[in-house]
Amino acid sequence: MDAVNDFFTAFSSFLWGWPMIILLLGTHIFLTIRLRFPQRKIFKAIKLSVKRDKDATGDVSQFGALATALAATIGTGNIIGVATAIALGGPGAVLWCWLTGVFGISTKYAEGLLAVKYRVKTRRGRMLGGPMYALEKGLGWKWLAILFAIFAALASFGIGSTVQANAISSLVENQYGISPYITGTVVTILGAAVIIGGVKTISKVCSMLVPFMALFYVLGCIYILIVNHAYLWQAIQVIVDSAFTTKAAGGGFAGSTLMMAARYGIARGLFSNESGLGSAPIVAAAAQTRNPVRQALVSSTGTFWDTVVICALTGLVITSSIIAYPDIDYHNGAALTKAAFSKIPYIGAPLLTFGLATFAFSTTLGWSYYGERCVEYLSGKKLMLGYRVLYIASIFIGSVISLGLVWNIADCMNALMAIPNLISLLCLSGIIVHETRKYLWRDRLDRDMEENEIDELEEVEKIQPQLCDEPSK
Give CA–CA dist 227/16, Å, rounded: 37
Does a structural domain hold residue 7? Answer: no
Long-range CB contacts (< 8 A, 24+ apart) of 192-199? 192/392, 194/365, 195/365, 195/368, 195/388, 195/391, 195/392, 196/388, 199/59, 199/60, 199/68, 199/283, 199/286, 199/369
* pLDDT value for 55: 66
Amino acid 414: pLDDT: 81
pLDDT at 138: 92
% pLDDT > 90, the chain = 27
427-454 pLDDT, tens per residue? 999 999 999 999 999 888 888 876 655 6
Average pLDDT over residues 270-279: 82
pLDDT of 422 above 90: yes
Mean pLDDT of 183-189: 91
Confidence of residue 35 (pLDDT cuts 50, 70, 90): very high
- Round the average pLDDT of the chain to a whole number and report it: 82
pTM of structure: 0.86
250 Rama class: left (phi>0) / alpha (psi -120 to 50) / beta = left
In a domain, 428, yes or no: yes
Task: Using DSSP bridges, classify how beta strands 120-121 and 127-128 pair: parallel, antiparallel or unpaired.
Answer: antiparallel
Check residue 221 and give its pLDDT. 86
**Which is nearest to 274 in space by CA: 404, 378, 414, 369?**
414
The domain that contains 95 carries what CATH number?
Answer: 1.20.1740
Higher local confidence (pLDDT), 434 or 345: 434
- State residue 3's pLDDT score: 80
- Looking at per-residue confidence, does 1 or 26 come out higher? 26
> What is the per-residue pLDDT for 473?
31
Neighbour tally for 334: CB within 10 Å: 11
Task: Return the pLDDT at 466.
Answer: 39
Domain count, the chain: 1
Residues 301 and 310: their CA atoms lie apart, in Å, by 12
- C-alpha angle 284-79-400 in degrees, rounded to nearest 5: 90
Question: For position 333, what pLDDT does the model report?
Answer: 61
How many angstroms separate the first and last alpha carbons of the chain? 47
pLDDT band at 256 (very low <50, low <70, confident <90, very high): low
Q: Is the residue at 211 inside a domain?
A: yes
Considering the domain boundaries, does residue 81 fall inside one? yes
Q: Is 274's pLDDT higher than 60?
A: yes
Structure confidence by residue, pLDDT tens digits, 354-395: 888 888 888 888 899 899 999 999 987 778 888 999 999 999
Q: Is 190:202 a contact under the CB 8 Å cutoff?
A: no
Rounded-to-integer distance, Cα 82 and Cα 76, Å: 9
| Within a domain: 240 | yes
Q: What's the pLDDT band for 459 if we cut at 50, 70, 90?
A: very low
Task: List the beta bridge partners of residue 455.
Answer: 120
345 pLDDT more than 50 = yes
Q: Which domain holds residue 68?
A: 15-443
Domain assignment present for residue 450? The answer is: no
C-alpha distances out from residue 360 to 26, 75, 213, Å: 29, 5, 11
Torsion of CA 335, 338, 342, 343, to 10 degrees: 60
Whole-angstrom CA distances from 83 to 118, 317, 387, 431 are: 38, 10, 34, 38
In a domain, 9, yes or no: no
Domain presence at residue 432: yes
Average pLDDT over residues 164-192: 87
Burial class (CB in 10 A: 0-12, 13-18, 19+), 125: exposed
In the sheet that holds 120-121, the strands lie side by side as: 127-128, 120-121, 455-456
Q: What is the pLDDT of residue 455?
A: 62
pLDDT tens profile 295-329:
999 999 989 998 889 889 989 988 888 888 887 77
Q: How far apart are the C-alpha atoms of 96 and 99, rounded to whole Å? A: 5
